[in-house]
């Protein structure tokens, strides 16, 4: 009985050991993309996938699925306020950005040289737009800055302002990001200065 049990474990141990042969850190995707997303229909796109997917260390998306919007979908984008024409770029999120600038940069593998990600815009994807959802691919930036692949989902929309191809609408500027902390007006109203010192 012991021999029989051992024979079952050998193939499992062998497969486990072999599952990482030739795979180096960063050569794999983290997480997966749900193919059922409200407002989107999964549909293969040989045109968009090469634009959105990147090799390890190059950025873009890793595990990915192409879709067509069947209704307006809200998306969020952080961009470089010194280059306002980038507000309607290609890379978006389905979730409102939160946390610190550095945590968002790391979660979405955004090199500092690409953008200071200091302003937020929210738009709606136009119905019938083709897009790609994917997990975040790793990226190696200049100055020894690297970010690993993550399970955070990015949205690739093939906007191209130079060719007047914009697939988002009803955009609203949300201002500086992260939003400056507000000082409580209650505290300011109740502060009294004693002139006598």
Does residue 67 fall inside a structural domain? yes
Q: Which residue do the tokens 């997990």 mark?
A: 135
Are 107 and 121 in contact by the 8 Å Cβ rule? The answer is no
Q: Which domain holds residue 75?
A: 26-178
Query: pLDDT, tens digit, for every residue of 57-100?
Result: 999 999 999 999 999 999 999 999 999 999 999 999 999 999 99
* Number of independent structural domains in the chain: 1
- Cβ-based neighbour number of residue 56 at 10 Å: 18
Does residue 111 fall inside a structural domain? yes
Does residue 42 fall inside a structural domain? yes
Q: Say which range, 4-8, 9-13, 109-113, 118-122, has the weakest mean pLDDT.
A: 9-13
Q: Is the peptide bond before 178 cis (omega within 30 degrees of 0)?
A: yes
């Amino acid at each position: 009985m012991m021999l029989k049990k051992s024979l079952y474990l050998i193939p499992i141990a062998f497969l486990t050991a072999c599952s990482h042969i030739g795979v180096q850190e960063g050569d794999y995707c983290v997480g997966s993309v749900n193919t059922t997303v409200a407002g989107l229909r999964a549909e293969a796109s040989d045109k968009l996938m090469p634009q959105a997917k990147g090799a390890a260390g190059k950025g873009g998306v890793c595990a990915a699925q192409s879709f067509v919007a069947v209704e307006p979908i809200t998306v969020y984008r952080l961009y470089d306020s010194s280059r306002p024409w980038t507000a309607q770029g290609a890379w978006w999120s389905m979730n409102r950005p939160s946390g610190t600038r550095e945590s968002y940069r790391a979660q979405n593998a955004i090199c500092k040289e690409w953008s200071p990600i200091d302003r937020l815009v929210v738009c709606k994807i136009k119905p019938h737009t083709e897009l790609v959802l994917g997990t975040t691919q790793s990226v190696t930036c200049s100055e020894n800055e690297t970010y690993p692949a993550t399970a955070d989902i990015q949205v690739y929309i093939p906007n191209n302002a130079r060719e007047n191809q914009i697939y988002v609408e009803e955009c609203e500027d949300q201002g500086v990001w992260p939003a400056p902390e507000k000082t409580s007006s209650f505290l300011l109203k109740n502060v009294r200065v004693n002139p006598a010192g």
